[in-house]
Amino acid sequence: MSGKSLHRRGFLLTAAASTAVSTLPAVANAAPASPRHHRSATFRWLGTAGWRIDVGDRTVLVDPYLSRFPTGLFTGAFDPATPLAVNPAAITAARLGTPETVLVTHTHWDHFADVPQVARSTGARVLGTLTAYHLGLAYGVPAAQLSPVKGGEVLDFGAYRVEVVAALHSRNAGYSMAFPGVRLAVPQPAPATIADLPEGDTLAYVLRVPDGPSVFLMGASDFVERNLTGLRPDVAMIALNSSAATFDYVPRLLAALDRPRVVVPVHWDDFEQPATNPPPVAPADRNRLSAFVDAIRAASPRSRIVVPEYDQPYTF
């Protein structure tokens, strides 16, 4: 795989040079480009589809999952009865700052399990589906902090806007998904295993900074093309597809987004291993990640591809 158009330090990385992702070739740092915007945002990848986004002194989180407990998913011994094991110390160590908003794409454990702890400890407002709303209540998050959304909303937070996009969850090789379903009421008792956290419908988001960048954020690898028309983000964080069940996933997605100038693959790491750089990749996923990067390059040759590392500050 060629290193052409692949820039791991992406968005003009402000940190010192870091270790190369083991499955991808290291490339030289590109010369900083002239700023395209008067305002910037700083992004730190939390792993999986999670991000910490700082816009000035305002912090937004996306799918913050830090506990990273084993379920057997990457070893061929997946156990749906795995107990939910939220680790407050891991959440604290992740340096999430003082978030005011948490965006939840869907409620599978690797996206939602840590959200109630984050919300209760910081007072952050949680945006997500009605399932996320009911699960938040079940875990003791005050209703005043929970904002159910469906897709189509454009919410103004002053320093940034959030556009909610109705989306779809990834399909596995059997054209299905793990733990389908929604929560139409507050579950009692609160969910105790990963199987108790259903997909709960899926959303994507566009975060727009006035006079600054616009960024598309997805947490699962499927989408509704018509819902992406006209979004035209500067940057797209797109999830590694879990199978070939979705037709022409990468070309259709990037065309619908009007081929963003920067594309960032996410949800490719082994999130049951410690979050150390280079990010761990399950052996079965190494070739898939390489093929994913090649597919991005083929579908959008002018896009800069950024393979992120954990907790590295990337800015526009």
pLDDT at 81 over 70: yes
Dist CA 59 CA 96 (whole Å): 8
Low-confidence winner among 25-29, 130-134, 142-146 (lowest mean pLDDT) = 25-29
For the chain, give the mean pLDDT. Answer: 89
**Single-letter residue type at 161:** R
Low-confidence winner among 38-42, 99-103, 211-215 (lowest mean pLDDT) = 38-42
Report which DSSP code applies to 266: E
- Residue 32's pLDDT band (boundaries 50, 70, 90)? very low
Q: Where are the beta strands (DSSP E) in 63-128?
A: 101-103, 125-128
Which helix or strand (DSSP H or E) is residue 148 part of? strand 146-148
Q: Domain coordinates of the chain in residue numbers? A: 42-315
> Stretch 78-85: mean pLDDT, rounded?
97
**Single-letter residue type at 169:** H
pLDDT at 43 over 90: yes
> Stretch 110-117: mean pLDDT, rounded?
98
CB distance 66 to 91 below 8 Å: yes
pLDDT in tens, 189-206: 999 999 999 999 999 999
pLDDT in tens, 265-305: 999 999 999 999 999 999 889 999 999 999 999 999 999 99
- Whole-prediction pTM value? 0.90
Share of the chain above pLDDT 90, in %: 84
pLDDT at 223: 97
pLDDT at 40: 82
> Stretch 104-110: mean pLDDT, rounded?
98
pLDDT at 56: 93
What is the token pair recorded at 122? 């910081």
> Which CATH code fits 42-315?
3.60.15.10
Low-confidence winner among 25-29, 52-56, 168-172 (lowest mean pLDDT) = 25-29
